[in-house]
Structure 1
Amino acid sequence: MSNTLIRNPFTAARVTEAALKRAQARNIWVGYSGESVTGAEAADALAAIRAVIGKRGLKTAATKDPDTTLPDVDDSMKLKDIVLAMWREIRASVWDDHHGPISLHCALYEVKDADARNAANKVLDALVLGYTGADFALATSWAERPARTWDEVRDLLDAGVDFARTHGPA
């Protein structure tokens, strides 16, 4: 999948056909509110998720978290040194959480509309099921596998946008 000369594997006819069956069986176009989500709303959510990961980078199970910079406390340290060290660690942690690499799971929650987010997630799940041929699979788990690349996840998101616009309700 990482070979850019090969077309997107998630758009293969067998994957689309399996995803359509899954979409009909699970009614992926209904959100948590019980209201319908249009294909355009789901596609826009997927495009937003793609933009967030594209900007921040993809976090997978293989992505290393930054090492802690908090020093050990000993009797020679002044209270000011301890508080400053803690403040720097907290600030770095918050910055990384909002600016560093992000997983597909967390990027989904950047979409504020819970119904569109739910439909978008179900579209991705349906495509991963069609792609893997498994009885059960979650796109978020698939995307976080250690060897997964941004190109592969972007292919999934691109296919999800196309699938939602083409097969979702108006």
Structure 2
Amino acid sequence: MKKVLVLSSSLRKGSNSETLAQEFAKGAAEAGNKVEFESLRGKKIGFCMGCLACQKKGKCVIKDDAPAITKKMESADVIVFATPIYYYEMSGQLKTMLDRANSLYSSDYKFREIYLLTSAADTDAKAMNIAKRGIGGWIACFDGVKLKGALCATGAESAGDVKKNSALLKKAFAMGKKA
């Protein structure tokens, strides 16, 4: 059994990327994993100040919701990032959270597997490539950590569009089941 943290960065309830994340979570749970779903919606997460105090203290000194989320990331075996694609990149919410998770770099993090789930209005699957590269840059900072899978819901402009694509939902579920 693995501890799987699914982190949804969309601020829109019932968003396409969150729907993919929920399907992944269902698959991971069905496979016998312990799954925790965390949404950034409603969370207060300020920008990293670059002070590097987190490297000495083991946690961020900013008093908001980010340190608690970072703690969950640290203890997870698998982290799943779900994000809408904005201008061919991950959402600002997710990028800000990744910056704020800087304390993980010098920690005894458990995660070794990362998954990326995205949704984009663009109809080309390449729409996620820059976000995938951004997540890859974050992953490169951690020894032994790999991107195990990525999925992009293309043509998902309106909330609920992903729910109409049963093949894509099955892929997200299957990906979760393999986590």
TM over 0.5: no
Structure number having the greater strand percentage: 2
TM-score (norm 2): 0.28
